[in-house]
Amino acid sequence: MPDTHRNNQSRVVITGLGAVSALGVGVDRLWEGLVNAESGIGNITQFDTTNFDCRIAGEATGFDPAAFMPLSETRRMARASQLAVAAAKEAWQHAELDQRQENSERIGVLLGSGMGGWEKADSGTTDFRNRSSGRAKPFALAASLPNMPAFSISHYLQAHGPMAGLSSACATGTQCIGEAAEMIRRGATDVMIAGGVEGLVTDFIIAGFAGMRAMPTAYNDDPQSASRPFDIDRSGFVLSEGCGAVILESYDHAIARNAPILAEVLGYAASADGYHIAKPEPSGIGAERAMRWALDNAQVNPTQIDYINAHGSSTPINDVLETNAIKRVFGAAAYNIPVSSTKSMIGHPLGGSGALEAIACVQSLTTSIIHPTRNLDTPDPACDLDYIPHTARQHDVNITLSNSFGLGGQNACLVLGKVEQ
């Protein structure tokens, strides 16, 4: 890692990782699947898709919430909250934190979701309108609130510092990690549990995005081929569920407890397109701003970036937009930087995607392996960067850039690096 403007007091490091994704439960399962170019996309099992144009998604199959919390409590929790607790508990254990030795008032939670526990509000509303008593189900409304994943983590891990659940569409996970790092920098906390989650493979959500023509409809019989970022035959993103959680600490706090330091948050930035409710600004200027500002915040030169984890959503517009924005930020060096898309294998878990992609970046920093982009069979001529098709690559990675761009023109970028202690 190069020298930066930060002294030890303002440095923020990552000491723990936790994940639930379409590839399975746990960070090891996620990374193994990504490196081996496995796909977690399949036919939807959570509802009957007979009359649906799109019948595929990335479900977190094998996830049993009762393995992480009492069954009696899972019944009152939305899927997003269940996934969040599982990922946060893994990250906590990975970081080797001990609640008996920590000041709970100096531990915060900043973990958001694009849509929260919307399914609880939906089912609760339907049930209420079908009743004649005028009474609603207890907890249906509370469970649907977008801050409930963060609350659930705070409850189970007894984190009594600042708590919030940001919602910035597909940029949520990235923005939560970036803003949590800033909270540590300004001295508000010593430890933050940060990330993003989504748990909404539901009939309305699938139908809604399909109605926006944002999802692929030609791969129902071949779901593992559906998410194909930067490929000429891409036709939309594949909705998935999942959660990524990371433990952030001040450098001094991590060193004092001899923590397993994995990476450092060197920089972060967010921007807005201010253009359209669903379409990104066509030139990609918002994405470009976020990348430039994140590099400036990290005091990192574009030539120092060793790997870019692309937003890479597999939509016709976004993949070209991101490619062009990368070229403008990095100039001729753009063609020398390896780029890949995690979503080609786990689909797009909306608010959870940025956090899972940050975890992939940390794994690249610690293993010197970059996972590939699956299904990149025929590259789009307009997407002509080094997208690492099909096979993982051994590569010395010291600094990474992770991009997240979402509905409503939400853009967020993280710069992560190896740590010199």
Query: What's the chain's Rg over C-alpha atoms?
Result: 20
Pick from 5-14, 47-56, 74-83, 186-195: least confident: 5-14
pLDDT digits (tens, 9 = 90+) for 259-312: 999 999 999 999 999 999 988 998 999 999 999 999 999 999 999 999 999 999
180 and 313 part of one domain: no
Confidence check: pLDDT of 7 > 80: no
Lowest-confidence region among 23-37, 103-117, 130-144, 268-282: 130-144
In the chain, the number of structural domains is 2
Q: Regarding beta strands 107-113 and 191-198, do their DSSP bridges make them parallel or antiparallel, or are they unpaired?
A: parallel
Q: Kindly state whether residues 146 and 120 are assigned to the same domain.
A: yes
Amino acid found at 7: N
Please say which residue of 208, 237, 256 terminates a domain. 256
Tell me which of 201, 228, 256 is where a domain ends: 256
Query: What's the CA gap between 212 and 175, in Å, rounded?
Result: 25
**Residues 275 and 248 reside in one and the same domain:** no
Q: What is the mean pLDDT of the chain?
A: 95
The residue segments making up the domain with residue 283 are 267-417
pLDDT at position 343 over 50: yes
Same domain flag for 356 and 303: yes
Residue 421 is predicted with a pLDDT of 64
CB 117 within 8 A of CB 197: no
pLDDT (0 to 100) of residue 2: 39
Q: pLDDT-based confidence at 4, cuts 50/70/90?
A: very low
Positions marked active-site: 170, 311, 348
* Residue 89: pLDDT band with limits 50, 70, 90: very high
Q: Report the alpha-carbon distance of residue 277 to residue 219 in Å, rounded.
A: 27
The answer to whether 348 and 238 are in contact (CB under 8 A) is yes
Report if residue 5 sits inside a domain: no
> Both 108 and 242 in a single domain?
yes
CATH of the domain at 380: 3.40.47.10
The last residue of a domain, from among 213, 229, 256: 256
Q: What is the pTM of this model?
A: 0.96
Sign of the Cα pseudo-torsion (28, 226, 373, 168, in order): negative
Where does the pLDDT of residue 69 fall: very low under 50, low under 70, confident under 90, or very high at 90 and above? very high
**360-381 per-position pLDDT tens digit:** 999 999 999 999 999 999 999 9
Same domain, 218 and 197: yes
Q: What CA–CA distance (Å, rounded) separates 294 from 277? A: 24
Identify the band that residue 1 occupies on the pLDDT scale cut at 50, 70 and 90: very low
Q: Give percent of the chain with pLDDT exceeding 70.
A: 98
Residue 133 confidence (pLDDT): 83
∠ CA(212), CA(30), CA(181), 5° rounding?
A: 80
Q: What is the DSSP string of 37-52?
A: T----EE--SS--TT-
Residue type, 355: A
pLDDT digits (tens, 9 = 90+) for 221-271: 999 999 999 999 999 999 999 999 999 999 999 999 999 999 999 999 999
